Amino acid sequence: MVVPGARVCRGRRSAVTASLCGIGLGCAALASVSVAEAHGVWAHIHVTGWAIDNQPDEELRDFFSDPEVLNAALYGAAFTDSGYWPQAGELSRRSRAYSEHTHWEPFVQDFVAWIIAHDPPPWTSVESKKRVAFLLGCASHGLQDELFDSVFLYQVRTHDGKDQEEADPGTDGFFAKDRWITRIPTEYIPMDTVLELYAGLGQGVDEATIRQSVDLLNFIYLGNPEAAAALGTRYESIIPWTREHYLDPAIPGSIASEVFPTMRYQQAIWRRLHGQLPVDAPVVVSAFPDAPRRLHGADSTAPDSWATLIFAEGVRYSTTAPTWQDDQGEPVPFDRANTRWGATWPRLIRLQPTAPLVPGAWTTVSLPAGAERIDGQLTTTPFSLRFQVPCDDATASDCADLGALPTPDLGEPAPEPEMDAGLDAEPDASTPDADPTPDAALDAEPDAPPLDTGLAVDVAADGASNGHIPPTADASDDGGCACGVTPRRVAPSGAAWALLALVAAVWTRARRGP
Protein backbone atom coordinates (compact mmCIF):
# COMPACT_ATOMS: atom_id res chain seq x y z
CA MET A 1 0.00 0.00 0.00
CA VAL A 2 1.30 3.42 -0.91
CA VAL A 3 0.69 6.73 0.75
CA PRO A 4 -0.18 9.22 -1.99
CA GLY A 5 2.42 11.72 -0.89
CA ALA A 6 1.63 14.41 -3.46
CA ARG A 7 -2.01 14.51 -2.43
CA VAL A 8 -1.13 14.65 1.25
CA CYS A 9 1.63 17.21 1.01
CA ARG A 10 0.47 19.77 -1.52
CA GLY A 11 -1.93 22.60 -0.87
CA ARG A 12 -2.33 24.37 2.44
CA ARG A 13 -0.29 23.07 5.36
CA SER A 14 -2.94 20.99 7.08
CA ALA A 15 -2.66 19.11 10.35
CA VAL A 16 -2.03 15.97 8.33
CA THR A 17 0.82 17.61 6.45
CA ALA A 18 2.28 19.02 9.62
CA SER A 19 2.06 15.67 11.36
CA LEU A 20 3.80 13.75 8.59
CA CYS A 21 5.99 16.20 6.70
CA GLY A 22 6.95 18.13 9.81
CA ILE A 23 8.91 15.26 11.34
CA GLY A 24 11.55 15.03 8.65
CA LEU A 25 9.78 12.48 6.45
CA GLY A 26 10.08 14.49 3.20
CA CYS A 27 6.74 14.81 1.41
CA ALA A 28 7.84 13.13 -1.79
CA ALA A 29 9.26 10.22 0.15
CA LEU A 30 5.91 9.35 1.67
CA ALA A 31 4.92 7.72 -1.60
CA SER A 32 7.46 4.93 -1.23
CA VAL A 33 8.72 4.42 2.30
CA SER A 34 8.62 0.85 3.55
CA VAL A 35 9.11 -0.91 6.86
CA ALA A 36 9.39 -4.48 8.10
CA GLU A 37 6.93 -5.61 10.71
CA ALA A 38 5.37 -8.80 11.90
CA HIS A 39 1.90 -8.53 13.32
CA GLY A 40 1.29 -5.03 14.55
CA VAL A 41 2.91 -3.30 17.48
CA TRP A 42 -0.39 -2.94 19.32
CA ALA A 43 -0.93 -6.69 19.22
CA HIS A 44 2.61 -7.29 20.53
CA ILE A 45 1.98 -4.94 23.45
CA HIS A 46 -1.29 -6.61 24.37
CA VAL A 47 -0.24 -10.24 23.88
CA THR A 48 2.71 -9.52 26.18
CA GLY A 49 0.36 -7.94 28.69
CA TRP A 50 -2.15 -10.77 28.42
CA ALA A 51 0.61 -13.31 28.99
CA ILE A 52 1.52 -11.47 32.20
CA ASP A 53 -2.15 -11.25 33.23
CA ASN A 54 -2.56 -15.01 32.76
CA GLN A 55 0.65 -15.96 34.59
CA PRO A 56 0.07 -18.84 37.04
CA ASP A 57 3.56 -18.20 38.45
CA GLU A 58 2.95 -16.26 41.67
CA GLU A 59 6.50 -14.89 41.80
CA LEU A 60 6.20 -13.46 38.29
CA ARG A 61 2.76 -12.01 39.00
CA ASP A 62 4.14 -10.25 42.06
CA PHE A 63 7.11 -8.96 40.04
CA PHE A 64 4.77 -7.24 37.58
CA SER A 65 2.46 -5.81 40.25
CA ASP A 66 4.37 -2.51 40.13
CA PRO A 67 2.86 -0.44 37.26
CA GLU A 68 6.30 0.92 36.32
CA VAL A 69 7.65 -2.60 35.92
CA LEU A 70 4.67 -3.72 33.85
CA ASN A 71 5.00 -0.63 31.66
CA ALA A 72 8.66 -1.47 31.00
CA ALA A 73 7.66 -4.91 29.67
CA LEU A 74 4.95 -3.47 27.44
CA TYR A 75 7.30 -0.85 26.05
CA GLY A 76 9.96 -3.51 25.43
CA ALA A 77 7.35 -5.33 23.31
CA ALA A 78 6.95 -2.17 21.22
CA PHE A 79 10.64 -1.16 21.18
CA THR A 80 11.65 -4.34 19.36
CA ASP A 81 10.17 -3.02 16.09
CA SER A 82 11.35 0.58 16.54
CA GLY A 83 14.28 0.32 14.14
CA TYR A 84 12.02 -0.57 11.21
CA TRP A 85 10.39 2.84 11.07
CA PRO A 86 11.42 4.88 8.02
CA GLN A 87 14.90 6.30 8.29
CA ALA A 88 17.51 7.43 5.82
CA GLY A 89 20.67 5.81 4.46
CA GLU A 90 23.20 5.11 7.17
CA LEU A 91 20.73 5.63 9.98
CA SER A 92 18.40 3.10 8.35
CA ARG A 93 21.16 0.49 8.30
CA ARG A 94 22.02 1.01 11.97
CA SER A 95 18.39 1.14 13.08
CA ARG A 96 17.44 -2.03 11.28
CA ALA A 97 20.54 -3.75 12.62
CA TYR A 98 19.58 -3.23 16.27
CA SER A 99 15.89 -3.93 15.69
CA GLU A 100 16.64 -7.13 13.82
CA HIS A 101 19.04 -8.37 16.46
CA THR A 102 16.54 -7.62 19.23
CA HIS A 103 14.04 -10.05 17.69
CA TRP A 104 16.17 -13.15 18.13
CA GLU A 105 17.40 -15.48 20.85
CA PRO A 106 21.08 -14.44 20.67
CA PHE A 107 20.03 -11.00 21.94
CA VAL A 108 17.89 -12.58 24.67
CA GLN A 109 20.72 -14.85 25.74
CA ASP A 110 23.21 -11.96 25.81
CA PHE A 111 20.76 -9.90 27.87
CA VAL A 112 20.20 -12.77 30.32
CA ALA A 113 23.96 -13.21 30.69
CA TRP A 114 24.44 -9.45 31.20
CA ILE A 115 21.88 -9.36 34.01
CA ILE A 116 23.35 -12.42 35.74
CA ALA A 117 26.83 -10.85 35.55
CA HIS A 118 26.01 -7.23 36.41
CA ASP A 119 22.68 -7.13 38.26
CA PRO A 120 21.68 -10.62 39.41
CA PRO A 121 18.55 -11.43 41.40
CA PRO A 122 17.06 -10.61 43.78
CA TRP A 123 16.36 -7.22 42.30
CA THR A 124 15.58 -4.64 44.94
CA SER A 125 15.52 -1.38 42.98
CA VAL A 126 12.73 -0.38 40.63
CA GLU A 127 15.30 0.37 37.94
CA SER A 128 16.70 -3.17 38.10
CA LYS A 129 13.20 -4.63 37.91
CA LYS A 130 12.32 -2.42 34.94
CA ARG A 131 15.42 -3.59 33.05
CA VAL A 132 14.40 -7.23 33.57
CA ALA A 133 10.85 -6.44 32.52
CA PHE A 134 12.12 -4.72 29.37
CA LEU A 135 14.06 -7.88 28.49
CA LEU A 136 10.92 -9.97 28.98
CA GLY A 137 8.96 -7.62 26.72
CA CYS A 138 11.55 -7.75 23.92
CA ALA A 139 11.79 -11.53 24.18
CA SER A 140 8.01 -11.91 24.14
CA HIS A 141 7.80 -9.90 20.94
CA GLY A 142 10.42 -12.06 19.23
CA LEU A 143 8.66 -15.30 20.10
CA GLN A 144 5.33 -13.92 18.93
CA ASP A 145 6.84 -13.07 15.57
CA GLU A 146 8.18 -16.58 15.13
CA LEU A 147 4.76 -18.04 15.92
CA PHE A 148 2.78 -15.64 13.74
CA ASP A 149 5.14 -15.75 10.78
CA SER A 150 5.86 -19.48 10.84
CA VAL A 151 2.34 -20.74 11.49
CA PHE A 152 -0.47 -18.18 11.11
CA LEU A 153 0.74 -16.54 7.91
CA TYR A 154 0.39 -19.91 6.17
CA GLN A 155 -3.23 -20.00 7.32
CA VAL A 156 -3.74 -16.55 5.82
CA ARG A 157 -2.22 -17.73 2.55
CA THR A 158 -4.41 -20.85 2.53
CA HIS A 159 -7.73 -19.17 3.33
CA ASP A 160 -7.37 -15.63 1.97
CA GLY A 161 -4.70 -16.08 -0.69
CA LYS A 162 -2.70 -13.26 0.90
CA ASP A 163 0.41 -13.02 3.01
CA GLN A 164 2.40 -10.79 5.30
CA GLU A 165 1.88 -7.56 3.42
CA GLU A 166 -1.84 -7.78 4.10
CA ALA A 167 -1.86 -9.70 7.39
CA ASP A 168 0.55 -7.44 9.29
CA PRO A 169 -1.34 -4.16 8.96
CA GLY A 170 -4.70 -5.88 8.69
CA THR A 171 -4.54 -7.68 12.02
CA ASP A 172 -3.40 -4.54 13.85
CA GLY A 173 -6.25 -2.70 12.15
CA PHE A 174 -8.78 -5.31 13.25
CA PHE A 175 -7.30 -5.17 16.72
CA ALA A 176 -7.86 -1.42 16.86
CA LYS A 177 -11.25 -1.49 15.16
CA ASP A 178 -12.49 -4.07 17.67
CA ARG A 179 -11.34 -1.67 20.43
CA TRP A 180 -8.77 -3.97 21.99
CA ILE A 181 -6.25 -1.15 22.46
CA THR A 182 -6.48 -0.70 26.22
CA ARG A 183 -2.76 -0.40 27.08
CA ILE A 184 -0.58 2.48 25.90
CA PRO A 185 2.92 2.16 27.36
CA THR A 186 5.18 5.13 27.94
CA GLU A 187 8.80 5.10 26.91
CA TYR A 188 11.34 3.21 28.98
CA ILE A 189 14.68 2.00 27.59
CA PRO A 190 17.64 0.81 29.71
CA MET A 191 19.85 2.72 27.30
CA ASP A 192 23.29 1.99 28.75
CA THR A 193 22.58 -1.74 28.85
CA VAL A 194 21.20 -2.08 25.33
CA LEU A 195 24.01 0.02 23.89
CA GLU A 196 26.51 -2.34 25.48
CA LEU A 197 24.64 -5.31 24.03
CA TYR A 198 24.46 -3.75 20.56
CA ALA A 199 28.17 -2.89 20.57
CA GLY A 200 28.92 -6.48 19.62
CA LEU A 201 27.05 -6.03 16.34
CA GLY A 202 29.78 -3.75 15.02
CA GLN A 203 27.14 -1.65 13.26
CA GLY A 204 27.78 1.68 14.98
CA VAL A 205 24.48 1.66 16.88
CA ASP A 206 24.56 4.61 19.27
CA GLU A 207 22.09 6.48 21.42
CA ALA A 208 21.23 8.87 18.59
CA THR A 209 20.31 5.90 16.38
CA ILE A 210 17.91 4.54 18.97
CA ARG A 211 16.59 7.98 19.88
CA GLN A 212 15.66 8.84 16.28
CA SER A 213 13.94 5.48 15.84
CA VAL A 214 11.88 5.46 19.02
CA ASP A 215 10.84 9.09 18.49
CA LEU A 216 9.21 8.02 15.24
CA LEU A 217 7.58 5.00 16.85
CA ASN A 218 6.25 7.08 19.74
CA PHE A 219 5.04 9.96 17.58
CA ILE A 220 3.62 8.17 14.55
CA TYR A 221 2.12 5.07 16.16
CA LEU A 222 2.00 4.90 19.93
CA GLY A 223 0.93 8.53 20.04
CA ASN A 224 -2.06 7.80 17.75
CA PRO A 225 -3.78 4.64 19.01
CA GLU A 226 -6.95 5.46 17.11
CA ALA A 227 -5.07 5.55 13.82
CA ALA A 228 -4.79 1.82 13.26
CA ALA A 229 -8.56 1.35 12.97
CA ALA A 230 -8.38 2.76 9.45
CA LEU A 231 -6.32 -0.26 8.50
CA GLY A 232 -9.06 -2.57 9.74
CA THR A 233 -11.58 -0.92 7.45
CA ARG A 234 -9.23 -1.20 4.50
CA TYR A 235 -8.29 -4.86 4.95
CA GLU A 236 -11.45 -6.54 6.24
CA SER A 237 -12.70 -7.19 2.70
CA ILE A 238 -9.22 -8.20 1.48
CA ILE A 239 -8.54 -10.85 4.15
CA PRO A 240 -12.03 -11.84 5.43
CA TRP A 241 -10.98 -15.19 6.92
CA THR A 242 -8.20 -13.46 8.82
CA ARG A 243 -10.67 -10.83 9.97
CA GLU A 244 -12.81 -13.56 11.51
CA HIS A 245 -10.03 -15.66 13.03
CA TYR A 246 -7.15 -13.36 14.02
CA LEU A 247 -8.18 -13.64 17.69
CA ASP A 248 -9.40 -17.25 17.53
CA PRO A 249 -7.43 -19.25 20.15
CA ALA A 250 -8.23 -22.48 18.28
CA ILE A 251 -6.20 -21.38 15.22
CA PRO A 252 -2.47 -22.09 15.70
CA GLY A 253 -0.41 -18.94 15.43
CA SER A 254 -3.31 -16.51 15.79
CA ILE A 255 -2.79 -13.54 18.06
CA ALA A 256 -4.85 -15.12 20.85
CA SER A 257 -3.05 -18.46 20.47
CA GLU A 258 0.25 -16.69 21.20
CA VAL A 259 -0.74 -15.84 24.76
CA PHE A 260 -0.06 -19.18 26.50
CA PRO A 261 3.24 -19.85 24.65
CA THR A 262 4.38 -16.30 25.50
CA MET A 263 3.38 -16.84 29.12
CA ARG A 264 5.42 -20.06 29.35
CA TYR A 265 8.38 -18.52 27.54
CA GLN A 266 8.36 -15.68 30.07
CA GLN A 267 8.48 -18.29 32.84
CA ALA A 268 11.44 -19.97 31.14
CA ILE A 269 13.37 -16.70 30.88
CA TRP A 270 12.63 -16.04 34.55
CA ARG A 271 14.15 -19.43 35.37
CA ARG A 272 17.14 -18.72 33.12
CA LEU A 273 17.74 -15.46 35.00
CA HIS A 274 17.68 -17.35 38.29
CA GLY A 275 19.88 -20.22 37.07
CA GLN A 276 16.96 -22.61 37.40
CA LEU A 277 16.73 -24.08 33.89
CA PRO A 278 18.89 -27.21 34.25
CA VAL A 279 19.77 -29.50 31.34
CA ASP A 280 17.27 -32.07 32.57
CA ALA A 281 14.40 -29.58 32.27
CA PRO A 282 12.17 -30.19 29.21
CA VAL A 283 13.25 -27.77 26.50
CA VAL A 284 9.75 -27.75 24.95
CA VAL A 285 7.48 -25.44 26.95
CA SER A 286 4.49 -25.19 24.61
CA ALA A 287 3.11 -26.73 21.44
CA PHE A 288 0.45 -26.62 18.77
CA PRO A 289 -1.77 -28.50 19.37
CA ASP A 290 -1.80 -27.39 22.97
CA ALA A 291 -3.23 -30.28 25.00
CA PRO A 292 -6.05 -31.11 25.43
CA ARG A 293 -6.75 -29.67 21.95
CA ARG A 294 -6.67 -31.93 18.94
CA LEU A 295 -4.62 -31.27 15.84
CA HIS A 296 -6.50 -28.74 13.76
CA GLY A 297 -6.77 -30.85 10.59
CA ALA A 298 -5.82 -34.09 8.83
CA ASP A 299 -5.09 -32.74 5.35
CA SER A 300 -1.32 -32.91 4.91
CA THR A 301 -1.44 -30.19 2.25
CA ALA A 302 -2.78 -27.63 4.76
CA PRO A 303 -1.08 -25.99 7.76
CA ASP A 304 -3.90 -27.32 9.97
CA SER A 305 -2.02 -30.65 10.01
CA TRP A 306 1.26 -29.26 11.34
CA ALA A 307 2.59 -29.95 14.81
CA THR A 308 4.76 -27.17 16.28
CA LEU A 309 7.13 -27.45 19.24
CA ILE A 310 8.02 -24.23 21.09
CA PHE A 311 11.18 -23.98 23.17
CA ALA A 312 12.22 -22.51 26.51
CA GLU A 313 15.25 -20.96 24.79
CA GLY A 314 16.87 -21.01 21.39
CA VAL A 315 17.86 -24.49 20.23
CA ARG A 316 20.36 -25.14 17.45
CA TYR A 317 18.11 -26.24 14.61
CA SER A 318 20.60 -28.70 13.14
CA THR A 319 20.68 -30.66 16.44
CA THR A 320 16.93 -31.28 16.57
CA ALA A 321 15.80 -34.74 15.48
CA PRO A 322 12.04 -35.00 16.08
CA THR A 323 10.02 -38.14 15.42
CA TRP A 324 6.31 -38.73 14.78
CA GLN A 325 4.49 -42.05 15.07
CA ASP A 326 1.00 -43.39 15.61
CA ASP A 327 -0.16 -45.51 18.54
CA GLN A 328 0.75 -48.68 16.69
CA GLY A 329 4.34 -47.51 16.50
CA GLU A 330 4.17 -46.81 12.76
CA PRO A 331 6.04 -43.69 11.64
CA VAL A 332 4.10 -40.71 10.35
CA PRO A 333 6.05 -39.32 7.38
CA PHE A 334 6.85 -35.63 7.77
CA ASP A 335 9.25 -32.85 6.91
CA ARG A 336 11.05 -30.97 9.66
CA ALA A 337 10.88 -27.18 9.20
CA ASN A 338 12.67 -24.25 10.77
CA THR A 339 11.02 -20.88 11.34
CA ARG A 340 9.66 -19.39 8.15
CA TRP A 341 12.80 -17.34 7.72
CA GLY A 342 15.38 -19.78 8.96
CA ALA A 343 17.56 -19.36 12.05
CA THR A 344 20.43 -21.09 13.77
CA TRP A 345 18.71 -20.74 17.17
CA PRO A 346 14.95 -20.87 16.53
CA ARG A 347 12.40 -20.95 19.33
CA LEU A 348 10.26 -23.46 17.44
CA ILE A 349 10.32 -26.26 14.92
CA ARG A 350 7.45 -27.45 12.74
CA LEU A 351 6.59 -31.01 11.76
CA GLN A 352 4.69 -31.03 8.48
CA PRO A 353 3.17 -34.38 7.44
CA THR A 354 3.82 -35.47 3.88
CA ALA A 355 0.90 -37.95 3.69
CA PRO A 356 -2.74 -37.62 4.81
CA LEU A 357 -3.28 -38.28 8.50
CA VAL A 358 -5.82 -40.85 9.68
CA PRO A 359 -8.93 -39.10 11.07
CA GLY A 360 -9.43 -39.90 14.74
CA ALA A 361 -6.01 -41.51 15.13
CA TRP A 362 -3.79 -40.84 18.12
CA THR A 363 -0.21 -39.89 17.32
CA THR A 364 2.89 -38.87 19.29
CA VAL A 365 5.51 -36.29 18.39
CA SER A 366 8.83 -36.66 20.24
CA LEU A 367 12.05 -34.69 20.56
CA PRO A 368 14.95 -36.84 21.77
CA ALA A 369 17.58 -35.59 24.19
CA GLY A 370 20.78 -34.15 22.79
CA ALA A 371 19.53 -30.89 21.29
CA GLU A 372 21.95 -28.02 21.85
CA ARG A 373 20.55 -25.06 23.77
CA ILE A 374 21.80 -21.54 23.13
CA ASP A 375 23.47 -21.54 26.55
CA GLY A 376 25.77 -24.27 25.21
CA GLN A 377 24.26 -27.20 27.12
CA LEU A 378 22.78 -30.35 25.57
CA THR A 379 19.34 -31.43 26.68
CA THR A 380 19.22 -34.68 28.64
CA THR A 381 15.44 -35.16 28.89
CA PRO A 382 13.38 -36.24 25.88
CA PHE A 383 10.00 -34.66 25.23
CA SER A 384 6.84 -36.24 23.82
CA LEU A 385 3.37 -34.95 23.03
CA ARG A 386 0.46 -37.30 22.31
CA PHE A 387 -2.57 -35.83 20.55
CA GLN A 388 -5.49 -36.88 18.41
CA VAL A 389 -6.13 -36.14 14.75
CA PRO A 390 -9.63 -34.65 14.31
CA CYS A 391 -12.35 -37.06 13.25
CA ASP A 392 -14.35 -37.06 10.05
CA ASP A 393 -17.98 -38.19 9.69
CA ALA A 394 -17.00 -41.86 9.57
CA THR A 395 -14.96 -41.69 12.79
CA ALA A 396 -17.00 -39.10 14.71
CA SER A 397 -17.71 -41.51 17.56
CA ASP A 398 -13.96 -41.80 18.21
CA CYS A 399 -13.66 -38.12 19.12
CA ALA A 400 -15.12 -37.38 22.53
CA ASP A 401 -16.49 -33.95 23.34
CA LEU A 402 -13.57 -31.99 24.78
CA GLY A 403 -15.83 -29.62 26.67
CA ALA A 404 -14.60 -26.17 27.58
CA LEU A 405 -11.02 -25.81 26.40
CA PRO A 406 -8.47 -23.60 28.18
CA THR A 407 -8.39 -20.14 26.62
CA PRO A 408 -6.52 -17.05 27.76
CA ASP A 409 -8.36 -14.32 29.60
CA LEU A 410 -8.13 -11.26 27.36
CA GLY A 411 -10.26 -9.03 29.52
CA GLU A 412 -12.73 -6.79 27.72
CA PRO A 413 -12.26 -4.41 24.79
CA ALA A 414 -12.65 -0.72 25.44
CA PRO A 415 -16.25 0.52 25.45
CA GLU A 416 -17.57 2.46 22.52
CA PRO A 417 -17.04 6.19 23.07
CA GLU A 418 -20.09 8.24 23.83
CA MET A 419 -20.91 10.59 20.99
CA ASP A 420 -21.20 14.25 21.86
CA ALA A 421 -24.84 15.20 21.42
CA GLY A 422 -23.69 18.52 20.05
CA LEU A 423 -22.26 16.77 16.99
CA ASP A 424 -25.75 15.79 15.86
CA ALA A 425 -27.38 19.13 16.54
CA GLU A 426 -28.85 21.16 13.67
CA PRO A 427 -26.53 23.97 12.55
CA ASP A 428 -27.42 27.45 13.73
CA ALA A 429 -29.60 28.91 10.99
CA SER A 430 -28.63 32.42 12.06
CA THR A 431 -25.07 31.85 10.79
CA PRO A 432 -25.51 30.40 7.30
CA ASP A 433 -22.13 31.64 6.15
CA ALA A 434 -20.17 30.13 9.03
CA ASP A 435 -16.85 28.72 7.86
CA PRO A 436 -17.11 24.90 8.06
CA THR A 437 -13.33 24.60 8.12
CA PRO A 438 -12.11 22.99 11.38
CA ASP A 439 -10.54 25.15 14.01
CA ALA A 440 -7.31 26.69 12.79
CA ALA A 441 -5.56 25.09 15.74
CA LEU A 442 -5.64 21.85 13.81
CA ASP A 443 -3.28 23.37 11.26
CA ALA A 444 -0.77 24.40 13.87
CA GLU A 445 2.62 22.73 13.87
CA PRO A 446 2.51 19.64 16.12
CA ASP A 447 5.09 18.96 18.77
CA ALA A 448 7.19 16.78 16.51
CA PRO A 449 10.13 14.84 17.89
CA PRO A 450 13.41 16.70 17.47
CA LEU A 451 14.61 14.80 14.43
CA ASP A 452 17.65 15.76 12.41
CA THR A 453 16.08 16.92 9.16
CA GLY A 454 19.20 15.81 7.39
CA LEU A 455 18.06 12.26 8.10
CA ALA A 456 14.79 12.52 6.20
CA VAL A 457 13.90 9.43 4.19
CA ASP A 458 15.92 9.20 1.00
CA VAL A 459 13.88 6.90 -1.19
CA ALA A 460 16.43 6.81 -3.97
CA ALA A 461 19.16 5.71 -1.58
CA ASP A 462 17.12 3.53 0.72
CA GLY A 463 14.00 2.50 -1.15
CA ALA A 464 14.63 -1.23 -1.13
CA SER A 465 12.57 -3.36 1.21
CA ASN A 466 14.57 -4.90 4.02
CA GLY A 467 13.44 -7.54 6.44
CA HIS A 468 14.50 -9.64 9.37
CA ILE A 469 17.75 -11.55 8.99
CA PRO A 470 18.27 -14.36 11.50
CA PRO A 471 21.55 -13.92 13.34
CA THR A 472 24.39 -16.35 12.65
CA ALA A 473 22.34 -18.85 10.66
CA ASP A 474 24.71 -21.44 9.30
CA ALA A 475 24.51 -23.29 6.03
CA SER A 476 23.83 -26.61 7.76
CA ASP A 477 20.45 -25.36 8.92
CA ASP A 478 17.47 -25.99 6.71
CA GLY A 479 16.31 -22.40 6.90
CA GLY A 480 18.40 -21.62 3.87
CA CYS A 481 19.61 -18.28 5.18
CA ALA A 482 23.01 -16.99 4.16
CA CYS A 483 23.42 -14.78 7.18
CA GLY A 484 23.70 -11.10 6.67
CA VAL A 485 22.82 -11.52 2.98
CA THR A 486 19.46 -13.23 2.58
CA PRO A 487 16.61 -11.26 4.16
CA ARG A 488 14.59 -13.12 6.71
CA ARG A 489 11.60 -11.76 4.90
CA VAL A 490 10.63 -9.22 2.31
CA ALA A 491 9.26 -6.18 4.04
CA PRO A 492 5.70 -5.17 3.29
CA SER A 493 5.25 -2.01 1.31
CA GLY A 494 4.10 -0.34 4.30
CA ALA A 495 5.52 1.99 6.88
CA ALA A 496 3.30 3.59 4.33
CA TRP A 497 0.34 1.83 5.94
CA ALA A 498 1.23 3.25 9.31
CA LEU A 499 1.53 6.73 7.88
CA LEU A 500 -1.77 6.38 6.06
CA ALA A 501 -3.37 5.35 9.33
CA LEU A 502 -2.09 8.55 10.90
CA VAL A 503 -3.55 10.53 8.00
CA ALA A 504 -6.90 8.88 8.66
CA ALA A 505 -6.72 9.62 12.37
CA VAL A 506 -5.92 13.30 11.93
CA TRP A 507 -8.53 13.59 9.20
CA THR A 508 -11.13 12.02 11.47
CA ARG A 509 -10.21 14.37 14.30
CA ALA A 510 -10.49 17.36 11.97
CA ARG A 511 -13.84 16.17 10.64
CA ARG A 512 -15.25 15.88 14.14
CA GLY A 513 -14.04 19.31 15.10
CA PRO A 514 -12.21 20.34 18.26
Q: Which fold has domain 284-392?
A: Immunoglobulin-like (2.60.40)
Please say whether the beta carbons of 101 and 183 come within 8 A.
no
User: Residue 404: what pLDDT?
Assistant: 94
Would you say 470 and 339 are in contact if contact means Cβ atoms under 8 Å apart?
yes
Measure the CA–CA gap between 120 and 136, rounded to whole angstroms: 15
Confidence class for position 38, pLDDT limits 50, 70, 90: low
pLDDT given at position 2 = 25
Cα–Cα distance for residue pair 487/149, rounded to 1 Å: 14
User: According to the per-residue pLDDT averaged within each range, which of 12-26, 81-95, 265-279, 442-456 is highest?
Assistant: 265-279
Q: What's phi and psi for 365, nearest 5 deg?
A: -100, 135
Q: What integer is the mean pLDDT of 155-180? A: 96
What is the chain's mean pLDDT, rounded? 81
pLDDT digits (tens, 9 = 90+) for 430-479: 444 444 444 433 334 434 444 333 333 232 233 333 345 554 444 344 44
Buried b (16+ CB within 10 A) or exposed e, 353-373: beeebebbbebbbbbeeebbb
Q: What's the whole-number mean pLDDT along residues 132-147?
A: 98
- Predicted confidence at residue 220, as pLDDT, reads 85
- Among 222, 200, 271, CA closest to 57: 271
> pTM above the 0.85 mark?
no
Which distant-in-sequence residues (6+ apart) come within 8 Å of 509 by Cβ? Answer: 15, 442
* Amino acid 501: pLDDT: 52
Distance in angstroms between the alpha carbons of the first and the last residue of the chain: 30
Cβ atoms 504, 227 nearer than 8 A: yes
Q: Assess contact for 264 and 50: CB atoms under 8 A.
A: no
Mean pLDDT, range 364-376, rounded to an integer: 97
For the chain, domain boundaries: 284-392
Task: Determine the average pLDDT of the residues in 313-332.
Answer: 98
3-state secondary structure at position 116: helix
Phi then psi for residue 403, to 5 deg, are 70, -155
